[in-house]
Amino acid sequence: MQHLSIFNGISQEELSRMLRCFHAVQKTFRRGQQIQTYSSSLKKIGILLSGKAHLYCVDFDGSYTLLERFGPDDLFGEMFSLPLWGLEYIVEADTDCQVLFVLYEDIIKRCPNACDHHSQLSDNLFQIITRKSQALSLRINLLTARTVRQRLLHYLTYQQKLKGEGSFSIDMSLTELAEYLGVDRSSLMREIRVLKSEGALASKGRLFSLSGNLPWQTRKKNGGSS
């Protein structure tokens, strides 16, 4: 587990001792199972060891809203979100998952031995919270864009800069992307077609290029394109 961000800089010996001290519990969840339901109090932090999951909200009229997707090394729990009273927040497994649960109070309480690894854990947690706040700010900026076109281009431009390549793959399907951008899938597909017809975008599945280059295409010997 030393490869996990929250345990960065902590030796295996210190980690084993700390997990016993924290009464950490590892659980297995099958695809479609609920992993955690958020409450109004800060109870526990979930660390996804393997698999994929997502956080969704059910509002007053029963509508479903996708809020966040999780992969290995991601953390979830009340402290990483802003649950509103009366709404239900649920983490559900997209695939079979292994999750490590740690009580929130065990992390924040003052260590009687002033252990260095406890201080390191707190520092790691702060950095993770900072990254999650940045991701939330990105999502808010995307959702404030007025049109599907603006949301899509803002997201793809961000991904291009993040990965530093003209052509890049996104980490979600187009259906998931539509949910993430808060738009209808048919509207998203229509906008992608329009951008491609304008030459502003090239795409194939999850692979995109804002430069118009098509790296997956091969040239025919006669100079034409396939």
Contact 185, 175 (CB under 8 A): yes
- Secondary structure string (H, E, C) spanning 11-79: CHHHHHHHHHHCCCEEEEECCCCEEEECCCCCCEEEEEEECCEEEEEECCCCCEEEEEEECCCCEECHH
Q: How many alpha carbons lie under 13 Å from residue 90 in its C-beta half-sphere?
A: 14
Same domain (yes/no): 46, 58: yes
- What confidence score (pLDDT) does residue 97 get? 95
Q: Domain of 118: which CATH number?
A: 2.60.120.10
State the pairing for strand pair 202-204/97-103: unpaired
- Residues of the chain falling short of pLDDT 70: 1-2, 40-42, 79-86, 108-117, 211-226
Same domain (yes/no): 181, 116: no
Same domain (yes/no): 90, 12: yes
- SS3 state at 222: coil
Instruction: From 101, 60, 96, select the one nearest 78 (Cα to Cα).
Output: 101
Calpha distance 151→170 (Å, rounded) = 15
Number of domains in the chain: 2
Domain that holds residue 184: 145-209
- What confidence score (pLDDT) does residue 193 get? 93
